[in-house]
């Protein structure tokens, strides 16, 4: 079976509260991207209401805790050079499973 690979787009939104205007707009954006033939992946903190909402809409999600990343890397992400930051982000995002 020869399937054309879809382009993946990662959208991350740290949520200060519940499902208000901005989170709903991001979910709507994900649905439009999916309709356009792309594969949106919504990343948010593990306790986010947004992930449950995205999963109910059939969107791919990734649980991403930035505070844990910063703590693990001893704040190296903010205090180091550009290439180190890219390396840390790439390492942490590759270790984060995408749930379909």
Lowest average pLDDT, out of 14-18, 55-59, 71-75, goes to 71-75
In degrees, rounded to 5, the angle at the alpha carbon of residue 90 between the alpha carbons of residues 84 and 93 is: 135
Place of tokens 């499973």: 97
Domain that holds residue 33: 8-95
Residue 45: C-alpha distances to residues 12, 57, 61, 83 (Å): 9, 18, 10, 25
In a domain, 71, yes or no: yes
Share of the chain above pLDDT 70, in %: 61
Q: Based on C-alpha coordinates, what's the Rg of the chain?
A: 15
Evaluate whether residue 100 is within a structural domain: no
Task: Write the pLDDT tens digit of every residue in 7-21.
Answer: 889 888 876 567 788
The predicted-structure confidence for 25-36, as pLDDT tens digits, reads as follows: 999 999 999 999
In a domain, 17, yes or no: yes
- Answer whether residue 91 is part of any domain: yes
The answer to whether residue 81 is domain-embedded is yes
Establish if 36 belongs to a structural domain: yes
- pLDDT class of 74 with cuts at 50, 70, 90: low
Has residue 83 been placed in a domain? yes
Question: What's the total number of domains in the chain?
Answer: 1
Give the pLDDT of residue 1: 41
């Amino acid at each position: 079976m020869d399937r054309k690979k879809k382009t993946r787009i990662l959208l991350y939104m740290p949520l200060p509260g519940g499902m208000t205007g901005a989170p709903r707009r991001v979910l709507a954006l994900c649905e439009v991207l999916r309709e356009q033939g792309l594969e949106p992946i919504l990343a948010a903190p593990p306790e986010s209401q947004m992930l449950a909402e995205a999963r109910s809409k059939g969107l791919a999600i990734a649980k991403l805790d930035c505070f844990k990343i910063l703590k693990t890397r001893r704040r190296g992400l903010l205090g180091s050079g550009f290439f180190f930051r890219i390396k840390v982000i790439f390492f942490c995002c590759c270790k984060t499973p995408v749930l379909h």
